[in-house]
């Protein structure tokens, strides 16, 4: 089969472009690979810069790459913050060691004082995760720098700061903006919520009554997905600071923030429905006098809501799946009224499902449908 048949007139560069797209998505799913590459580049540049400087600074060249390793992070803002925190922690540790050395104490006592006081100082709130550098740098200056008490702490502090500046510069040149990873995370969260609703719907529509163990197996753990979504959105928010790429992707970035907020709210509502159905789903099989059970309209309402979640491609829903879900919920509400089930246990369970789904629909309704969806709110 010819390439023309395969690609139907596509340009010769299409395969190469396809590979680039695959690589781009793979790197988006594995951000540590990009982080490792930038860190390696920054450390190499820092090493060369110190070796070129010569003099007594060249006696301690390894501190410059160390500073670069600390400074290269997932966002420019974090690079600046953590680089500054590391330099501050080193300064505190070096100052502590220098002060203890002036007391002319026995080595073991000096070591204990530096470690103890440094560990206390490491808990200062503004140092955050870099606080552990205080006792470490204090030990280095006290024990390793004893033979060169002036140049060693200056080199330690100065070269770490230099490496941090180089790491920050590399991050500024190649600033991360995790749009693809955010999109993938949102897609997985939508799928997880839809799978949960489908599993509950299948349980309600099952001909045989499920046991407590059967319902438990249909319960999904939504918390890891919610936490991952919060983590990625937090990183996306932070990556906007000091990032020259943000202007180009401003609209898409704002859309992802809005969609993430909608998904977080939806996850809470789906969790409410999950708790209710797995604990009270069996009550929906209870029939009123001369009327069918509520399990079938409840199951269809959950199915349509799951289909709605799968159709999402933004913070609001498209009209067709939104109206379909709204109609299914309306049919469940009508069944509750027609069977006069409001005072029965099955009616309470079904009404709770109606309320939760209607809240979800309200959060997804576009501006032009807010007066129509959900019906009879």
Residue by residue, what is the 3-state secondary structure of the chain? CCHHHHHCCCCCCHHHHHHHHHHHHHHHHCHHHHHHHHHHHHHHHHHHHHHHHCHHHHHCCCHHHHHHHHHCCCCHHHHHHHHHHHHHHHHHHHHHHHHHHHCCCCHHHHHHHHHHHHHHHCCCHHHHHHHHHHHHHHHHHHHHHHHCCCHHHHHHHHHHHHHHHHHHHHHHHCCCCCHHHHHHHHHHHHHHHHHHHHHHHHHHHCCCCCCHHHHHHCCCCCHHHHHHHHHHHHHHHHHCCCCCCCCCCHHHHHHHHHHHHHHHHHHHHHHHHHHHHHHHHHHHHCCCCCCCCCHHHHHHHHHHHHHHHHHCCCCCCCHHHHHHHHHHHHHHHHHHHHCCCCCCHHHHHHHHHHHHHHHHHHHHCCHHHCCCCCCCC
Model confidence at 237, in pLDDT bands (50, 70, 90)? confident
Backbone angles phi, psi at 325, to 5 degrees: -65, -40
Structure tokens at 181: 């990873």
Cβ 236 vs Cβ 179: under 8 Å: yes
CA distances from 23 to 15, 53, 73, 108, 186 (A): 12, 38, 21, 54, 20
Given a cut of 60, whether residue 210 has pLDDT beyond it is yes
Within a domain: 76:
yes
Within a domain: 70:
yes
- My answer on whether 165 and 244 are in the same domain is no
- Give the residue among 363, 353, 359 at the shortest CA–CA distance from 377: 359
Within a domain: 5:
no
Within a domain: 99:
yes
Mean pLDDT across the chain: 87
Model pLDDT, residue 341: 63
User: CA-CA distance, 359 to 377, in Å (whole number)?
Assistant: 9
Q: What is the CATH number of the domain that holds 345?
A: 1.20.120
- My answer on whether 35 and 169 are in the same domain is yes
Within a domain: 376:
no
Residue where a domain stops, chosen among 143, 173, 203: 173
- My answer on whether 163 and 193 are in the same domain is no
- My answer on whether 252 and 356 are in the same domain is yes
Model confidence at 111, in pLDDT bands (50, 70, 90)? very high
Structure tokens at 141: 């200056």
Lowest mean pLDDT among 85-89, 104-108, 147-151: 147-151
For residue 301, the Cα-to-chain-centroid distance in whole angstroms is 30
Residue where a domain stops, chosen among 173, 191, 208: 173
Rounded to 10 deg, the angle between the 223-239 and 250-280 helix axes is: 170
Query: Average pLDDT, stretch 24-31?
Result: 79
User: CA-CA distance, 322 to 117, in Å (whole number)?
Assistant: 61
- My answer on whether 259 and 216 are in the same domain is yes
- My answer on whether 109 and 190 are in the same domain is no
- My answer on whether 148 and 222 are in the same domain is no
Q: Kindly tell me the burial class for residue 338, based on how many C-beta atoms sit within 10 Å of its own C-beta (0-12, 13-18, 19 or more).
A: exposed
Give me the domain span that covers residue 151. 14-173
- My answer on whether 94 and 128 are in the same domain is yes
Given a cut of 70, whether residue 12 has pLDDT beyond it is no
- My answer on whether 128 and 195 are in the same domain is no
- My answer on whether 76 and 214 are in the same domain is no
User: CA-CA distance, 37 to 80, in Å (whole number)?
Assistant: 19
Model pLDDT, residue 291: 58
Domain count for the chain, please give it: 2
Model pLDDT, residue 9: 45
Within a domain: 155:
yes
Residue where a domain stops, chosen among 130, 149, 173: 173
Within a domain: 2:
no
Within a domain: 323:
yes
User: Which one is predicted more confidently, 173 or 281?
Assistant: 173
Model pLDDT, residue 92: 95
Query: Average pLDDT, stretch 113-133?
Result: 94
Model confidence at 3, in pLDDT bands (50, 70, 90)? very low
User: CA-CA distance, 194 to 3, in Å (whole number)?
Assistant: 39
Given a cut of 70, whether residue 14 has pLDDT beyond it is no
% of the chain at pLDDT higher than 90: 49
- My answer on whether 219 and 317 are in the same domain is yes
> Would you give the end-to-end CA distance of the chain in angstroms?
59
Model pLDDT, residue 342: 60
- Give the residue among 129, 178, 163 at the shortest CA–CA distance from 30: 178
- My answer on whether 74 and 160 are in the same domain is yes
User: CA-CA distance, 298 to 368, in Å (whole number)?
Assistant: 27
pTM of the model: 0.74
Model pLDDT, residue 31: 85
Query: Average pLDDT, stretch 314-341?
Result: 90
pLDDT digits (tens, 9 = 90+) for 148-179: 888 888 898 999 999 999 999 999 998 888 88
Given a cut of 50, whether residue 4 has pLDDT beyond it is no
Cβ 329 vs Cβ 301: under 8 Å: yes
Model pLDDT, residue 201: 94
Model confidence at 228, in pLDDT bands (50, 70, 90)? very high
CA distances from 326 to 194, 202, 364 (A): 16, 19, 11
């Amino acid at each position: 089969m010819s390439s023309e048949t395969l690609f139907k007139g596509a340009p010769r560069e299409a395969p190469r472009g396809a590979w680039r797209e695959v690589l781009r998505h793979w790197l988006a799913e594995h951000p540590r690979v990009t982080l490792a590459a930038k860190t390696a580049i920054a450390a190499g540049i820092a090493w060369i810069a110190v070796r070129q400087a010569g003099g007594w600074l060249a006696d301690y060249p390894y501190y410059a790459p160390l500073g670069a390793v600390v400074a290269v992070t997932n966002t420019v803002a974090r690079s600046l913050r953590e680089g500054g925190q590391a330099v501050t922690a080193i300064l505190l540790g070096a100052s502590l060691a220098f002060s203890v050395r002036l007391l002319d104490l026995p080595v073991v006592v000096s070591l204990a004082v530096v470690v103890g006081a440094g560990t206390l100082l490491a808990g200062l709130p503004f140092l955050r995760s870099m606080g552990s550098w205080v006792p470490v740098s204090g030990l280095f200056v006290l024990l390793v720098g004893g033979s060169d008490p002036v140049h060693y702490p200056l080199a330690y502090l100065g070269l770490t700061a230099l490496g941090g500046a180089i790491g920050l510069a590399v991050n500024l040149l190649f600033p991360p903006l995790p749009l693809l990873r955010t999109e993938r995370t949102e897609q997985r969260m939508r799928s997880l919520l839809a799978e949960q609703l489908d599993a509950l719907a299948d349980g309600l529509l099952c001909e045989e009554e499920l046991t407590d163990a059967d319902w438990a197996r249909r319960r999904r753990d939504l918390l890891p997905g919610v936490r991952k979504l919060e983590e990625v959105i937090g990183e996306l928010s932070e990556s906007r600071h000091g990032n020259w790429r943000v202007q180009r992707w401003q609209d898409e970035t704002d859309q992802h923030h809005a969609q993430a907020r909608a998904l977080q709210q939806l996850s809470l509502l789906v969790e409410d429905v999950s708790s209710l159905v797995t604990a009270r789903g069996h009550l929906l099989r209870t029939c009123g006098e001369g009327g069918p059970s509520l399990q079938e309209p409840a199951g269809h309402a959950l199915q349509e809501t799951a289909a709605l979640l799968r159709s999402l491609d933004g913070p609001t829903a498209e009209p067709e799946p939104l109206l379909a879900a709204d109609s299914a919920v309306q049919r469940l509400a009508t069944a509750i009224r027609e069977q006069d089930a409001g005072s029965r246990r099955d009616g309470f369970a079904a009404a709770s499902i109606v309320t939760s789904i209607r809240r979800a629909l309200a959060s997804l309704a576009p501006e032009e449908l807010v007066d129509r969806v959900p019906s009879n709110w």
